[in-house]
């Protein structure tokens, strides 16, 4: 299921960043994104870097304002290192987890500012909460495409953690013919051992003995093991 998680890029300037961001999103199973007043006009460089994610460039939604881009969203988190009273500052991992959790209520969005100056004060105020990558102080800024990849990865990991694990493949079941061979071999062995003497009572006893094996739904492998074990016992009895 594709979750309604939207990546919103404000005034993206660099076409290469757009191409790399498209590839990163597709790597992580995401496809919903919006560009607000993009300044990159020639998308040829973007297509060179998108690598099998060109459809994301063609299908991107474009808006003129952040308000229009997130109007239907139930939660909006902005990427900014600023501290604003009343707004939580979340680590990228917490953002990924909360985006996945809140997506069950409706569309959610994460907003990235432009490469030069980031989000404006008004855009920060529009967001419910804020998040920043805990980079080293010696190099605090991070490339837009790298930021998209980092948050997309956290969304991916949170989605995988929230999804139930796929069921284990079922083993190949024993066929009715294989079960019949096991039952016949067991009957032969029990008769040679003197357990089944009375034909009528013996048949009833054999049925009762074999019933648990039939109910257990033996696999093909288990049926072969039973046959091998019974044949081995039969050979020992005959040799003795």
Taken in order 201, 204, 208, 210, is the CA torsion positive or negative? positive
Domain that holds residue 180: 176-238
Report the pLDDT value the prediction gives residue 206, as an integer from 0 to 100: 77
Domain boundary pick from 130, 162, 194: 162
Domain boundary pick from 104, 127, 162: 162
In a domain, 181, yes or no: yes
153 and 207, same domain (yes or no): no
Q: How do the pLDDT tens digits run along the chain, 240 residues long?
A: 678 999 999 999 999 999 999 999 999 999 999 999 999 889 999 999 999 999 999 999 999 999 999 999 999 999 999 989 889 999 999 999 999 999 999 999 999 999 989 999 999 999 999 999 999 999 998 999 999 999 999 999 999 998 877 788 888 888 889 888 888 888 888 877 777 666 665 567 777 888 888 888 889 899 999 999 988 888 887 776
To the nearest 10 degrees (0 to 180), the angle between helices 92-102 and 144-162 is 50
In a domain, 167, yes or no: no
In whole angstroms, what is the distance from residue 192 CA to residue 189 CA? 5
In whole angstroms, what is the distance from residue 21 CA to residue 29 CA? 12
In a domain, 24, yes or no: yes
158 and 205, same domain (yes or no): no
Report the pLDDT value the prediction gives residue 202, as an integer from 0 to 100: 56
In whole angstroms, what is the distance from residue 238 CA to residue 192 CA? 9
195 and 158, same domain (yes or no): no
35 and 154, same domain (yes or no): yes
154 and 190, same domain (yes or no): no
9 and 55, same domain (yes or no): yes
Report the pLDDT value the prediction gives residue 201, as an integer from 0 to 100: 58
Domain boundary pick from 128, 162, 196: 162
Number of domains comprising the chain: 2
Which CATH number is 42's domain given?
A: 3.40.1280.10
Report the pLDDT value the prediction gives residue 167, as an integer from 0 to 100: 81
In a domain, 58, yes or no: yes
Longest dimension (CA), the chain: 95
Report the pLDDT value the prediction gives residue 200, as an integer from 0 to 100: 61
152 and 182, same domain (yes or no): no
226 and 181, same domain (yes or no): yes
Q: Please tell me the pTM assigned to this model.
A: 0.71
29 and 136, same domain (yes or no): yes
81 and 187, same domain (yes or no): no
119 and 220, same domain (yes or no): no
In a domain, 80, yes or no: yes
117 and 203, same domain (yes or no): no
The strand pairing partners of 173, in sequence order, are: 219
Report the pLDDT value the prediction gives residue 124, as an integer from 0 to 100: 95
Q: Where are the beta strands (DSSP E) in 53-107?
A: 61-63, 75-79, 89-90
């Amino acid at each position: 299921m594709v979750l309604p998680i939207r990546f919103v890029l404000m005034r993206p300037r660099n076409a290469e960043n757009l191409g790399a961001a498209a590839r990163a999103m597709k790597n992580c199973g995401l496809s919903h994104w919006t560009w607000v007043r993009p300044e990159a006009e020639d998308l040829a460089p973007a297509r060179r870097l998108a690598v099998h994610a060109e459809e994301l460039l063609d299908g991107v939604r474009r808006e003129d304002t952040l308000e229009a881009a997130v109007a239907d969203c139930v939660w909006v988190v902005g990427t900014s290192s600023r501290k604003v009273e009343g707004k939580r500052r979340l680590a990228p991992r917490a953002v990924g987890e909360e985006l996945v959790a809140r997506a069950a209520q409706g569309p959610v969005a994460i907003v990235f500012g432009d490469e030069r100056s980031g989000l404006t004060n008004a855009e920060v105020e529009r967001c419910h909460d804020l998040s920043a990558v805990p980079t080293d102080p010696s190099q605090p800024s991070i490339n837009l495409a790298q930021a998209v990849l980092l948050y997309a990865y956290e969304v991916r990991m949170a989605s995988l953690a929230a999804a139930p694990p796929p069921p284990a493949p079922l083993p190949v079941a024993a066929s009715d013919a294989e079960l019949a061979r096991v039952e016949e071999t067991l009957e032969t062995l029990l008769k040679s051992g003197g357990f089944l003497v009375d034909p009528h009572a013996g048949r009833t006893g054999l049925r009762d003995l074999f019933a648990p094996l039939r109910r257990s739904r033996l696999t093909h492998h288990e049926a072969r093991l039973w046959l091998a074990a019974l044949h081995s016992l039969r050979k020992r009895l005959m040799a003795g």
